[in-house]
Amino acid sequence: DFNLSESDPEVQSIIDKEKERQFKSLELIASENFTSRAVMEAVGSCLTNKYSEGLPGKRYYGGNEYIDELETLCQQRALEAFHLDGKIWGVNVQPLSGSPANFEVYTAILNPHDRIMGLDLPHGGHLSHGFMTPKRRVSGTSIYFESMPYRLDESTGLVNYEMLEKTAILFRPKLIIAGASAYPRDFDYPRMRKIADAVGAFLMADMAHISGLVAASVVANPFEYCDIVTTTTHKSLRGPRGGMIFFKKDPILGVDLESAINNAVFPGLQGGPHNHTIGGLAVCLKHAQSPEFKNYQNKVVSNCKALAERLFELGYNLVSGGSDNHLVLVDLRPLGIDGARVEKILDMASITLNKNSVPGDKSALVPGGIRIGTPAMTTRGFTEKEFVSVADFIHEGVQITLEAKQASPGSKLQDFMKFVTSKDFPLAHRISD
């Protein structure tokens, strides 16, 4: 029984290289974080060996007394971490990740071809909220359900709630989704609740990006207004890769959410839960109740404000003019460059962020902006001072990108730009995270 480096040096060496990359780079991808050693120990434990289809006390396999104890503890901690009363809210901690969690909710409360409204992906929404192009139903959500996205007001960069309301009255969705992958502001949950009530729709929040901020009460709380709340567990919450679904226990619109959602997770769409992940999640949810965690989330937000202010001073155009949360979205189009080129150049300097479409982009293939997040580097101890330097580094990368555009013929820089502008260069629109 060998350890990894003895039994598979090839995989060990790839892991070592990735570890080095994570260690050396400035990790600014808004959906990423560095989880704790304790979480990784649980994820790398014997919990991975066990099958436990079903729920605590109602399993399809024997030998689950400790797994039952673990999942029950994880559920309790999930409710505590988000300050929820267990008489009003329940939770399923088995979803394998964020996209499956969302699809499980749709499966639970909708019939095929029922209508949904989520924020459009080019305006900051997530694929799993129903993304489709005029030519193709890209996400499974848009294949099995009829999706009519709502959008931002391009002049303010804020959700256009008026338009959402008008469209909802005509489209009559059965589900409205509040949540995003690239939206620097709080959602107006009370307003969305009113719209959902006016058309008889469920209101779900997908708080994947902001769940750590919600647990620490540093952004608006979706639980006060929504029927269902989904989340990933590996972004600002800083846990293992996974997902959770919170649901109201009382029937909503005649649906018993608890049984519908639990059944959609298993046997609907999943088999055996990933118990090692549930173990890691339980550890993360204990951390999420500590004063250190609250302090960390406060810093995520104050660091983001410092980053936004410095970028603003440097003359950048920020979508919505700033940020209330953990990310900023920079519109690079006034400079005559796109996000893909800047992402590539910064990558060469070990600064990792992602190109992102910004409202008003003519083509989804050439995203006009970049998304920058503060959770990961805040975990590594960055303060406002370091984030001011991060803004300066990004500025330098943008200047290099601009200079490269004007490089003299035959220069190395020009060769590089030829590559950057060639077909081999991945200009593909961000559709994966």
Binding site for ligand PLP (CB under 6 A): 31, 97-99, 126, 128, 179-181, 206, 208-209, 232, 433
Residue partners of 239: CB distance under 8 A and separation at least 6: 35, 39, 233, 280, 281, 283, 284, 285
How many whole angstroms separate alpha carbon 4 and alpha carbon 59?
33
- CA dist 198 and 275 (Å) reads 41
Nearest distance, CB of residue 183 and ligand PLP, angstroms? 9
Residue (205 or 335) nearer to ligand PLP, CB = 205
Single out the residue of 431, 372, 81, 31 nearest to residue 208, CA to CA: 31
With tokens 């820089």, the residue in question is: 413
Tell me the C-alpha distance between 408 and 421, whole Å.
16
Tokens of 275: 């118990």
CB neighbours (10 Å) of residue 309?
A: 18
d(CA 333, CA 340): 12
Q: How far is CA 428 from CA 336, 341, 347, in A?
A: 18, 12, 16
Per annotation, catalytic residue among 50, 51, 396, 405: 51
CB of 210 to ligand PLP, least distance (A): 9
Closest residue to ligand PLP, Cβ-based?
98
| Rounded-to-integer distance, Cα 69 and Cα 36, Å | 22
Q: Which is nearer to ligand PLP, 328 or 335 (CB)?
A: 328
**CA-angle at 140, arms to 136 and 146, nearest 5°:** 70
Task: Give me the least distance between CB of 39 and ligand PLP, in Å please.
Answer: 16
Beta carbon of residue 98, minimum distance to ligand PLP (angstroms, whole number): 2
Nearer of residues 72 and 97 to ligand PLP, judged by Cβ: 97
How far apart are CB 327 and ligand PLP at their closest, in Å? 10
Indicate the residue among 164 and 417 with the shorter CB distance to ligand PLP: 164
Of 77, 174, 185, 235, the catalytic one is 235
**3-class SS at 201?**
coil
Strand 158-159 vs strand 175-179: parallel, antiparallel, or unpaired?
A: unpaired
What's the closest the beta carbon of residue 31 comes to ligand PLP, in angstroms?
A: 4
Q: Which of 50, 53, 68, 72 is catalytic?
A: 53
Among 356, 101, 376, 373, CA closest to 238? 376
CA gyration radius, the chain:
22
Closer to ligand PLP by CB, 31 or 52: give it: 31
324 is catalytic: no
Given the residues 32, 146, 206, 338, select the one marked as catalytic: 206
Q: Nearest approach, Cβ of 33 to ligand PLP (angstroms)?
A: 12
Residues 6+ apart with CB under 8 A from 190: 225
Selection from 80, 75, 85 nearest residue 287 by Cα: 80
159 sits in which H/E element: strand 158-159
C-beta closer to ligand PLP: residue 116 or 180: 180
Q: Which helix (H) or strand (E) holds 330?
A: strand 327-331
Residue of 231, 232, 379, 401 marked active site: 232
Q: Which is nearer to ligand PLP, 188 or 256 (CB)?
A: 188
Count of C-beta atoms within a 10 Å radius of residue 423: 6
Q: State the minimum distance, in angstroms, from the CB of residue 300 to ligand PLP.
A: 16
114 in active site: no
Residue 126 or 287 having the CB closest to ligand PLP: 126
Indicate if 241 belongs to the active site.
yes
Chain CA centroid to CA 68, Å: 29
Residue 250 bears catalytic tag? no
Catalytic site positions? 51, 53, 206, 232, 235, 241
